Chain A
Amino acid sequence: MTELHTSAQATPVQLDRAAQWQRATEEPQWVRRTLIGIALAFLAAFLILPLLVVLVGAFEQGLGVWYAAVTEPDARAAIRLTLLVVVIVVPINVIFGVTVAWAVAKFEFRGKPLLISLIDMPFAISPVVVGLIFVILFGSQGWLGNWLSAHDLRIIFAVPGIVIVIAFGTMPFIARELIPLMQQQGKQEEEASLTLGASGLKTFWYVTLPNIKWGLIYGIILCNARAMGEFGAVAIVSGRIRGETNTMPLHIEVLYNEYMFTAAFAVSSILTGLALVTIAIKSTVEWWEQRTGATE
């Protein structure tokens, strides 16, 4: 910055050269405009338009119809179940993600590449297969079926099954965010903290956690969004009991299949709203952090 400042005060020849140097690193005006235009067109076509369709569909028949659709007992139960699943799944995956990333980034051990590949597996497997895996495991014809029914335990076609498949499907999000971040940061700071006499937990809380918090928050947001929206695997293990094991995405499909398009869009608008709230929370946290960071 200071160098640029002095060059601006120097002779006209140098200023001109500086300006030319600046232009050389930038694309011509038309390229920039085209690129921005393409990006905006994509956003409009694939993001804003569907969002509008959802909102128009939801409120087409007025606020009263929308309100009735989202406060109907089955819809309320679906919303409640979805939030319950998120509240269970996200903390589990935070613990898992931080643990795995910590292990991978800060330690050397045999089979580390294998572990990293395994973390990605839930992304690679189709959700339908994930659902079937758990049916084969916990279904009454499955491996653990007899034992579970003898102890009167219900996993699939009940809330635990839904939690398990969603936790499985969203497992990589936080770990995937944290591993590169922690690998890049290395372990000098932690080593310094430990040599200065801090305990392991203290080091984690005051050194590691502040360093990874953006990755963590971003991972939590992705994990949260995905947990609310997961469909394929849940559809298989849910049993679709109304008011009990239908999550919001399943409830939306049910409504759509029953020709209740307005209600389907109304519940969709809630799901979309939750996603928008998630994004808003992220921006607020960022803004807050910048402000407090500046005053500190």
Chain B
Amino acid sequence: MSTLTARLKRIIAIGLTAVSFSALTAQAQTVNLLNVSYDPTRELYREYNEWFAQQWRAKHNQTVNIRQSHGGSGSQARSVIDGLDADVVTLALAYDVDALRQRADLIPADWQERLPGNSSPYTSTIVLLVRAGNPKNIQDWDDLVRDDVQVITPNPKTSGGARWNYLAAWGYALKKYGSEEAAFEFVEKIFANVPVLDPAARGATNTFVQRRIGDVFISWENEAFLAVEQLGRGQFEIVVPSVSILAEPPVTVVDANVDRKGTRAVAQAYLEGLYTDDAQRLAGKHFYRPSNPVIAAEFSDQFPDVNFFGIDDVFGGWDKAQNDHFNDGGHFDTILENIARNR
């Protein structure tokens, strides 16, 4: 019994030593940068961070250590508001970035005008992913309202990506049928075809790809490429609709944080670097559309021409779109109620 207590003592001693050691770990002579981003940008920023660190060291003879945090766009914004020490945020939609201003005053009102292209160094769009050979012959948005087609999309209430999906379909119908009522009816028909409404984009991808539910998956273009290239070569095809929304995932320096930490210069250079030719090519390589038209032309095989519309033109900006469609009592709630009643 005394041997046991002796052993316990020794274990506790080792534990305490380990704690004090880790507490003493000295801070390295580097500048730290934290980029809070959303889910699908991981590979892009892993490569870009290496490139940027190299550039910065060459120019300023200083090591920059870039740390990444990825998650759902909305919840990542929430974490920054609650004190996650982001120097820059690179999120899925302007609405989430703007929350940093509305709820915590971390960035100025004109944040989106500080960098070119509404502060979106790369763009994406919404496409349709179908199973190999396109067995249901899905060519455009109109095919999603057919009775024999099952559609997979995450829930616009919780997923930023799903809001793009919804607005893309709405914008198409508005253009084609000319009235808000017709667009409402069109989107309602699409959601009536949705068997599972996942809370987040990655979950919906898994529903379509791993669980093999549904005939067509409304997806970010970069996610769709990822599914085609990485998850199942030859199992899926991308169908680019005739009209789709221009998705602009914006970036910004978090002013309150960089001013406190004294990292503004490097944070700003980090975001401006995203517009260089090298970084634009990296974006294209990771399936985002480069915002620089010259570099975009190099990827024209990869990205077919789409007739784009922007969120500002059709919906009057994110605030209005959010308010009209996704907040409580908005169009999407009515759609869900109608569907529940008709079932």
Chain A residues at the B interface, C-beta cutoff of 8 Å:
84, 87-88, 90-91, 94, 135, 138-142, 145, 149, 154, 156-157, 205, 209-210, 213, 239-244, 254, 257-259, 285, 289, 292
Contacts and interface: CB of A to CB of B under 8 A. Distances in A.
Interface string B51-80: 000000000000000011111000000010
A94 B5 CA distance: 14
B1 interface: yes
A77 to B, nearest CB: 10
Contacts of B82: 135, 139-142, 156-157
A154 B39 contact: no
A244 B79 CA distance: 16
Contacts of B79: 157, 239-240
Contacts of B3: 292
Contacts of A209: 5
Interface stretch (B13-21, B163-171, B277-285): B13-21
Contact of B231 (A88, A140, A145, A259): A259
Contacts of B149: none
Contacts of A213: 1, 4-5
A240 B231 CA distance: 24
Interface of B: 1, 3-5, 12, 15-16, 18-19, 22, 34, 36, 39, 42, 67-71, 79, 81-85, 103-104, 202, 226, 230-231, 260
Contacts of B85: 154, 157
B42 A258 contact: yes
Given A139-B82, A157-B84, A258-B42, A242 B68 contact: yes
A55 B70 CA distance: 27
A88 B1 contact: no
Given A84-B18, A156-B82, A156-B83, A240 B71 contact: yes
A88 B16 CA distance: 8
B292 to A, nearest CB: 27
Contacts of B67: 241-244
A146 B141 CA distance: 50
B47 to A, nearest CB: 14
Contact of B22 (A84, A145, A210): A84
Given A87-B18, A138-B83, 4 more contacts: A91-B12, A140-B81, A239-B84, A241-B84
Task: Identify the 9 closest CB pairs spanning chains A and B, nearest first.
Answer: A140-B83, A139-B82, A239-B84, A157-B84, A87-B15, A240-B69, A241-B69, A210-B1, A257-B202
A157 B71 contact: no
A257 B198 CA distance: 14
B247 to A, nearest CB: 20
Contacts of A289: 4
Nearest to A214: B4
B5 A205 contact: yes
A292 B6 CA distance: 14
A242 B104 CA distance: 24
A226 to B, nearest CB: 17
A255 to B, nearest CB: 10
Given A90-B15, A141-B81, A157-B85, A259 B69 contact: no
A138 B82 CA distance: 9
Contacts of A149: 83, 260
Contact of A241 (B22, B68, B260): B68
Given A154-B85, A157-B79, A242 B19 contact: no
B19 A88 contact: yes
A135 B80 CA distance: 12
Contact of B69 (A88, A154, A239, A258): A239
Interface centre among B5, B18, B84 (most CB of A within 10 A): B84
B70 A87 contact: no
Nearest to B230: A259
Contacts of A257: 39, 202
A91 B15 CA distance: 8
Given A141-B104, A254-B70, A257-B39, A87 B19 contact: yes
B226 A242 contact: no
A257 B79 CA distance: 19
Nearest to A258: B42
